[in-house]
Amino acid sequence: MNTWHIGVIGGSGLAGGVGLQQAQEIAVESPFGEPSAAVTTGTLEGVRVTFLPRHGPGHAIPPASVNYRANIDVLKRCGVTDLIALSAIGSLRADMAPGQMVAVDQFIDRTVSRPASYFGPGLVAHVSLADPVCPRLAAGLADAVEAEGATVHRGGTYVAIEGPQFSTRAESLLYRQWGGDVIGMTAMPEVRLAREAELPYALLGMVTDYDAWRTGESGVEAAEVLAVMHANVALAGKVLRRFLAALPARREDSPIDRTLDHAIMTAEAARDPMLVAKLGAVAGRVLG
């Protein structure tokens, strides 16, 4: 696996903004149901890139209804080797201001209703998620932001909430006490599933607001988020291009490429053949 193929999951308006060359829109089926949309695949800076809008065309899918399993599965089926997520986030820290970016490296999962694993009864697996982000992808994205003259924070803990409502003030203050730096609604279970699919993952968050922890100020509003997000679309496209242009010609192996080597717990004779078949793209390397 010495050729890069970068998957990008992001906002619905990003695909046209990054200017993929020889772009093709392809509907890819998944045994885990319908993905958010067809993928758009092409090249950028000489690198194969496949884009998937997380919320579907026109941002029609709320965070808790995104089929995260299907999304990661279809990107794996497309041959993606590494995955970048671009997301709007709220800030839980005064020094992470709207308009700045954060290369997230840790997560606290507060979601409650989303299927969080490809594995289950009949095929049990436990992957390590101690360090959920690929350091070389995160560093490359942060380098690209700085090269564009923008502010980026290298590292930060992302609190993933269920939504679709924004936090109460009490919740926002609690997350700060927990050590949360930023907050959003979509990173979980996305990062969990990427690790199970043996895809190195990095999340570049675009700070849009201060959530609700700053007493004496109004809470976050959707219009505020959209305004900052739209202003940052062009920057996100420039950062992505610069990141791709800086990739080494040869992709060196990542330890994440072999996450499942020792993760499968179920004896071969006891495995559910239907689940094994569904996992052909995600785990076929170890399931045969």
Among the residues of 40-168, which ranges form H helices?
Answer: 68-77, 135-147
Q: Which residue of the set 73, 82, 181, 211 is catalytic?
A: 211
Q: Which among 226, 167, 207, 251 is positioned nearest to 86, based on CA atoms? A: 207
Q: ∠ CA 248-200-191 to the nearest 5 degrees?
A: 145
Helix (H/G/I), strand (E/B), else coil: 195: helix
Residue recorded with tokens 């045969």 = 288
What is the distance between the alpha carbons of residues 2 and 228, in angstroms, rounded to a whole number?
A: 37
Q: What are phi and psi of 125, to 5 degrees?
A: -145, 145
Separation between Cα atoms, residue 29 and residue 197, nearest integer Å = 16
Q: What is the DSSP letter of 28?
A: -
* Catalytic-role residue among 95, 209, 253, 272: 209
First-residue to last-residue Cα distance in the chain: 18
Instruction: Tell me whether residue 211 is one of the annotated catalytic residues.
Output: yes
Q: Which residues pair with 203 in a beta bridge?
A: 85, 104
Phi, psi of 273, deg, nearest 5: -65, -30
Active site residues: 209, 211
